[in-house]
Chain A
Amino acid sequence: MNKPTGWRVGVALAVLLGSAGAYWWRGHEALKKSPTAPPNPTFSDVLRNGLKLGLDLRGGIHLVMQVKTADALRVEAQDTLERLKDEGGKRGVAIVATGPADGTGFGLRLDEKTDAAKLKDLVTSILPPNAWSVDQRGREWRISYKDSERITIEDQATRQAVETIRNRVDALGVAEPVIQRQGTDRIVVEIPGVDDPSRVKEIIGTTGLLELKLVDDRGGPYPSMDVARGAYGGTVPEDLEVVEGFNEDADARTRTPVWYVLKRAAAVTGRDLKNARVDRDKFNQPAVMFFLNAAGAVKFAKVTGENINKHLAIVLDKRVQSAPVINSQIKESGIIEGNFTPEKADALTLVLRSGALPAEMIILEERTVGPSLGLDSIKKGVLASVVGMICVFLAMVLYYRLSGVNAVLALVLNALILLGAMAYINATLTLPGIAGFILTIGMAVDSNVLIFERIREEIDNGKAPKAAIDLGFKRAWGTIVDTHVTTISAALFLFQFGTGPVKGFAVTLVIGLLASVFTAVFVSHLLFDLIYGPKERVETLSI
């Protein structure tokens, strides 16, 4: 006792002001960034914006998506196969594919008359040897990806998907979206404040692959897949494919599915797209008008010019949207019809403008919280916190009198440090995080209880009050360290395990417990010293 208290008061005040300041600063920062902030924020506006709220409190959508990288691999393999066939045609190497390319590679068969050495030359000149491995079995060749190439393509596909999704989410104009790659092929998308889960999923999840393909002369439409195949004697040739579409009658409310037989190679794809906007079709229904870039326009003009009076299928994500007749040469624009609602047409333009995803996406996990549930959770969490704190405070004051007040002050500071630290590191407050907050208060008080009980014991053992205080703090210290290490290390495993909301819980618990070491030991001791220190003799403690 009677130790210098000046620097200790300084430290305590600095922490107090620092925490409050950090919270205040973050509140202002958040308001500055928020597009919907009121022009003259009031005190309560700043207070409400100090903590970043999790999706479960703010409302919003959390998606874990998987890029079907096998798709990208297949497309790449198919492209390579086409290139090989084209080049082979030029050099007089007649090859046919043994089947469509898949995610591992493709197979081809060499014509009986052609020399295998010629194919070998062709393959070595076109396919980089570090990307493809060639397995030769007589005239049947199997060309497969090497592992390194497969990994590169998968990685590229995922990276490209992240980029595309970012573009699309940015076009939605929402604040603070999170788009994060997770592992090789997963993407986490978190969009706070969005209350239209279906729309968001549609915009993010649509591949948006636009292909313009010529309809074969005998291409249908046919009422079923089997009929379509039957028209070609059971199987369609390798350069054609059967694609589903729907009846073109725009007035019909119910769509009847039909099947077209199309050329497998696309005349123009979405890669050649420059822009897209909402327009009206001939029935005055919403439709999407697209514009090609220079390279695309050249290709398109050539194809349409050569195929006047034939049908051109507009294929979106492997579905024929429409198959109009080419009346004249078209250069750079076209229209996608499809019985769209205005919202759908709007979403599609957004998707087309941001570019196609490199592969199909599947949603592995979806968590949507509506804004009203979030608001309800905040209200309940705050109420529970306040009531819980009051209960603890009352119990402490009842049980320990003046020393209880000391503990209450320490707890209040503890709560303040917790809020300040969370604001400072911009941690996210979630509903379990609120539970962590009030649990922290319940657990942090344990340190005070340990110390106070120890002081009482020392007094029982006949120590003078002032000495009892110092001894109480000293003797309880080891135990306080033990209790904190156990609780905090268990909470750390929550980081490893948890998803967003649970991580929020772990963050609050760990910060709160760390802060409680400071408040219960340092600040509480200081308060005792400030109360009893100046007195010459202390007869009794209020404990």
Chain B
Amino acid sequence: MRLFHKTNIDFLKIKWICISLSVLSIVIGTISLLVKGGPNLGIDFTGGAQIVYAFSKNPDEDQIRRIVEAANVKVVSVQRFDKAEKNEILLRVPLEKKEGRDLSKEVTTALTKALFPKGADATAFDLNLNGGDTLLGKLIADDPEKLTTRPNADPKVEYGREVQAIISARSEKGLFASADEAAKTPGVSPAVADWLRSKTLAGPFTLLSAENVGPQVGKDLREKGMWAILFSWAAMLAYIAFRFRSASFGTAAVVALIHDTWATLGLCSILNLEISLTVVAAFLTLIGYSVNDTVVVFDRIRENREKSKRTPLVELVNHSINQTLSRTVLTSVLTFMVVVVLFFLGGEVLRGFSFVMIVGIIVGTYSSIFIAAPLVVVWEDWKQKRATQKPASAPAPTKPGKASAAKAR
């Protein structure tokens, strides 16, 4: 199968349309960023807390908000996490001025008191909220199997095995519907099963994850993230300058790179996508990927230029884009496919990441063909014009690429 076989598309004909289009979309993105006061940073960068619970029954967001606010915890939002039928709730709490408040504990206690009063009692033991350690401690203390009467039994090992079985069963299921369900876990002895039924409860929700980022850490990560992006831009510029020894190529590649990052950021802002740590990771990957695509086209331009120095630049660039077109498209499609799979199957945590990659791959591929290569032509045209206008400033500017010609091959 061959797509784009021996194409001869005049990409440069529409270069001004494309450049205008890009400028326009970047302007729109920038306006959105300005109106919204910067990108929508997640708690990794702003600080604050984010707690995810899974409920056994369809939870009522408004009720949860009321309960938590009544417990003197401010709430930014209560929203569904993942698919609706999973009954998962993401609760956001704004940044506290001072570090040190155990928010997940406060919220969990408040929810238990309101939704499962039986579980709020000091002696109650909620199987869905307590972990293996606590369960093991309680089993050893109560000793339903009377292990202390058996001389060579180590309660830590004996009960440890059963606790592990119970906790993995819970991980599989999400949460226990009742203590009886926990008691029926394979590997649980009858004595422990009875103990579970009589001494423990299964509450209506479980804690999936809790993140609490204080102001200092948020600030650190914000600075680090910004520097990482700026430094990687600089590194790309340095590499391309070194590899192509030409201002036009270097500038074009970096303009395309900033174009890709900025346009994607703009779209994220328009769609209100939250920028988390993994999303920044996606941006950094995107920076590498974007240059990667551009470099392939540039390599070919340079190669063709060495072969036929007489050919006008416009023709040369067009020919090079056409020659690499099937590679550019195929690679992009393959990577695109992978990130689309990730977007749909990778789960909630990776959704932001894969979204940025999807957008980035589209924008990056577009910019390599329609922005980066045409910019080289625009730049060289402009330089030539300036040179012909001021013929006195001889010698004529050396064609970029000449210097690198000997070096590169």
Contacts and interface: CB of A to CB of B under 8 A. Distances in A.
Tell whether A and B belong to one assembly: yes
Interface of A: 36, 56, 59, 64, 66, 172-174, 193-199, 201, 341-343, 346, 362-377, 380-381, 383-384, 387-388, 391-392, 395-396, 398-399, 431-432, 434-435, 438-439, 441-443, 445-446, 449-450, 453, 456-457, 460, 478-479, 482-483, 485-491, 493-494, 496-499, 501-502, 505-506, 509
Interface stretch (B17-25, B34-42, B127-135, B385-393): B127-135
Given A196-B134, A380-B347, A478-B408, A432 B327 contact: no
A201 B353 CA distance: 30
B147 interface: no
Interface residues of B, number: 95
A482 B243 contact: yes
B362 interface: no
20 contacts: A36-B160, A195-B131, A195-B167, A197-B210, A346-B137, A367-B212, A368-B211, A370-B207, A372-B175, A380-B350, A381-B347, A388-B337, A439-B342, A445-B331, A479-B299, A494-B285, A496-B231, A497-B228, A501-B277, A502-B277
B291 to A, nearest CB: 4
Contacts, number: 266
B171 A372 contact: yes
Interface in B260-314: 277-278, 280-281, 284-285, 287-289, 291-292, 295-296, 299-300
A199 B133 contact: yes
A195 B278 contact: no
B216 A435 contact: no
Of the listed residues A373, A376, A506, the one surrounded by the most CB atoms of chain B closer than 10 A to its CB is A373
B346 interface: yes
Of the listed residues B133, B281, B337, the one surrounded by the most CB atoms of chain A closer than 10 A to its CB is B281
Contacts of B30: none
A450 to B, nearest CB: 6
Contact of B338 (A174, A341, A377, A441): A441
Contact of B104 (A197, A374, A380, A381): A197
Given A197-B104, A442-B338, A493 B285 contact: no
**Contact residues of A: prevailing secondary structure:** helix
A443 B296 CA distance: 14
Contacts of A482: 243, 292, 295-296, 299
Nearest to B216: A364
B174 interface: yes
A457 to B, nearest CB: 7
B12 interface: no
B97 interface: no
A494 B131 CA distance: 33
Nearest to B82: A376
Nearest to A490: B288
Q: Which 9 A-B pairs have the closest CB atoms?
A: A490-B288, A195-B131, A196-B131, A442-B338, A497-B228, A487-B288, A380-B347, A442-B335, A384-B345
B235 to A, nearest CB: 5
B296 A491 contact: no
Contacts of A377: 347, 349
A435 B224 contact: no
B350 A432 contact: yes
A506 B228 CA distance: 13
Contact of B100 (A64, A362, A370): A362
A490 B217 contact: no
Nearest to A371: B171
A441 B182 CA distance: 41
A341 B331 contact: no
B362 to A, nearest CB: 14
A190 to B, nearest CB: 14
Contacts of A497: 224-225, 227-228, 280, 284
Contact of A375 (B52, B172, B210): B172
B206 A372 contact: yes
Nearest to B302: A478
B337 A392 contact: yes
Given A64-B217, A196-B130, A443-B335, A431 B327 contact: no
A336 B280 CA distance: 50
Nearest to B238: A489
Contacts of B209: 367-370, 373
B354 interface: yes
Given A391-B341, A435-B278, 14 more contacts: A366-B213, A381-B350, A388-B342, A398-B1, A399-B1, A435-B346, A435-B353, A435-B354, A439-B339, A441-B338, A449-B330, A483-B292, A489-B288, A502-B277
Of the listed residues B122, B208, B280, the one surrounded by the most CB atoms of chain A closer than 10 A to its CB is B208
Contacts of B130: 196
Nearest to B283: A490
Contacts of A494: 228, 281, 284-285
Contact of B171 (A375, A432, A443): A375
Given A195-B167, A371-B171, A493-B235, A486 B337 contact: no
Contacts of B342: 384, 388, 435, 438-439
A363 B99 contact: yes
Interface in B360-389: none
Contacts of A502: 277-278, 280-281
Given A197-B210, A370-B206, A478-B408, A491 B284 contact: yes
A488 B285 CA distance: 9
Nearest to B207: A370
Contacts of B217: 64, 364-365
A445 to B, nearest CB: 5
A458 to B, nearest CB: 12
A493 B335 contact: no
Interface string B185-196: 000000000000
B14 interface: no
Contacts of B288: 486-491
A489 B239 contact: yes
Contacts of A453: 324, 326-327, 330
A490 B167 contact: no
